[in-house]
Amino acid sequence: MKRTPPPSGQAVAPNTMSDFDIEDFKDVHLLELEPMPGESPVAYKLRFVFGCAGYRNVKVLEMQTHPVLAVHAVRQEAQRINDHRLFFKHIRNLLRRAGFPLGRDELTVTQDNAGILAAFQWKDSPIDYAAGLRQAEQDAAEFANMPL
C-alpha cells in the first residue's frame, strides 16, 4: 500500500458570513445564564440543565427539613415521553448531567399534561440534619420526666 502525501497548495476559504444579519437570530431563545437572586449553585445548575433540555419555568425546591431536592418544570420544546420507563431514564440522565448520579431507587418522577416533577435525596446537602435530630432528642430527654 502506497501512501500519498496530501495535495499542497489547496486551502479552505474562510467563512466570511457575508450574508449574516441580525434578523437571522430573531427567533433564537437564549437561556438565562445569570443566577437568580438568592439561588444556590445547585439550583442554578439544575435550572440550566433542564432549560437546555427544553423545559421552562424550572423551579428547584430545597427542602428545609429533609435533604431532598424537588424540581418542577414545564415542558415547552422538550418532547413528551409517554413510556414511564423511558421518561424516568430521560430525567435521570438530565440529573446526571447536573452532577447527581442517582440510582433507580433514589429518584421519584411524575408528569402530567406539560408539567414534570422530580424529587431525590440530596446527599451533599450543606445543612447538618443529624445535628437537628440530636438537638430534638436532647430536648425530648430533658422534658421526659416533666409531669403532664
| Cell numbers that stand for 64 in this block | 428545609
Q: Is the model's pLDDT at 26 over the cut of 60?
A: no
- CB of 67 closer than 8 Å to CB of 129: yes
- pTM, full prediction: 0.64
Alpha-carbon span 119 to 93, nearest angstrom: 14
When computed from its CA atoms, the radius of gyration of the chain, rounded to whole angstroms, is 25
> What pLDDT sits at residue 74?
94
Residue with the larger pLDDT of the pair 22 and 40: 40
| Cell numbers that stand for 16 in this block | 466570511
User: What would the 3-class secondary structure string for 79-142 be?
Assistant: CCCCCHHHHHHHHHHHHHHCCCCCCHHHEEEEECCCEEEEEEECCCCCCCHHHHHHHHHHHHHH
| Cell numbers that stand for 38 in this block | 438568592
Residues 104-134 have pLDDT tens digits of 899 999 999 899 999 998 777 666 656 666 7
Q: At what angle do helices 41-52 and 84-97 cross, to 10 degrees?
A: 130
| Mean pLDDT value of segment 5-29 | 57
